[in-house]
Amino acid sequence: MNKGMLIVFSAPSGCGKGTMIKEICKHGNYYCSVSATTRDARKGEVDGVNYYFMSDEEFEQKIRENAFLEYAGYCKHYYGTLLSEVDDYLEKGTDVILEIEVQGAMKVMEKRPEAVSVFVVPPSINELRRRLKKRGTETDEVIEERVSEASGEIALSEKYDYVIVNDALEDAVNDFFAIMRAEKLKAEFSGDIINEVLKNA
């Protein structure tokens, strides 16, 4: 059986990434890795579902145990992808999506060159600010911090395999599926198909 595909999915916060992922998972068969973080849970977020919420000490313990595929500091907190959220799924043939910021994404691309990386951008920085304000989960100060972080992140988008502009949600999701479809048709993933074609030859 073919291994699952590892998908690195990055977007500055406020790009509609959460909504995109929800739509993607509704229409496709993906496992979204649950990350560990030291930031506080937002209203409605559930431990073990949205994130594994940890103290700094717990997170640093996991670093020492080499439990992370990657981790990074973002807006004064740690965020990291646990290996246990990735490799078992890939082995079983499930495609795994890592929704992570750029520093972590670069580390994954280095460690797992076969990963497919996708970067989502907003139509403009002003639109990004407007979306973050509308969400109403952060103070103005945090919003400006995130907008400035976003501008730096967008500058790194050229390091990714693909860039999607999230203007209209449906178009952005369709772009994502087009990328996945093309990646699946790559000859290197065609082992199962070729075996079937050559069966009883």
Contacts with ligand 5GP by CB under 6 A lie at 13, 35, 39, 70, 72, 74, 79-81, 99-101, 103-104
What minimum distance in Å lies between the beta carbon of 78 and ligand 5GP?
9
Which of residues 4 and 17 has its CB atom nearest to ligand 5GP in the complex? Answer: 17
Which of residues 127 and 189 has its CB atom nearest to ligand 5GP in the complex? Answer: 127
What minimum distance in Å lies between the beta carbon of 152 and ligand 5GP?
12
What minimum distance in Å lies between the beta carbon of 135 and ligand 5GP?
10
Which of residues 5 and 21 has its CB atom nearest to ligand 5GP in the complex? Answer: 21
| Residue 186, helix vs strand vs coil | coil
Residue 7: strand pairing partners:
97, 116
Per DSSP, the residues of 102-148 read HHHHHHHHHH-TT-EEEEEE-S-HHHHHHHHHHH--S-HHHHHHHHH
Distance CA 10, CA 136 (A): 22
User: In the bound complex, which residue of the shown chain has the CB atom lying closest to ligand 5GP?
Assistant: 104
What minimum distance in Å lies between the beta carbon of 138 and ligand 5GP?
9
Q: Is the dihedral of CA 15, 19, 23, 28 positive or negative?
A: positive
Which of residues 4 and 104 has its CB atom nearest to ligand 5GP in the complex? Answer: 104
How much of the chain is helix, strand and coil, in % rounded to 5?
Answer: 45, 20, 30
Distance CA 146, CA 166 (A): 18
Tell me the two tokens of residue 34: 């649950």
Which of residues 147 and 184 has its CB atom nearest to ligand 5GP in the complex? Answer: 147
What minimum distance in Å lies between the beta carbon of 42 and ligand 5GP?
8
Per DSSP, the residues of 153-176 read HHTTGGGSSEEEE-SSHHHHHHHH
Distance CA 163, CA 90 (A): 24
What minimum distance in Å lies between the beta carbon of 8 and ligand 5GP?
10
Which of residues 11 and 173 has its CB atom nearest to ligand 5GP in the complex? Answer: 11
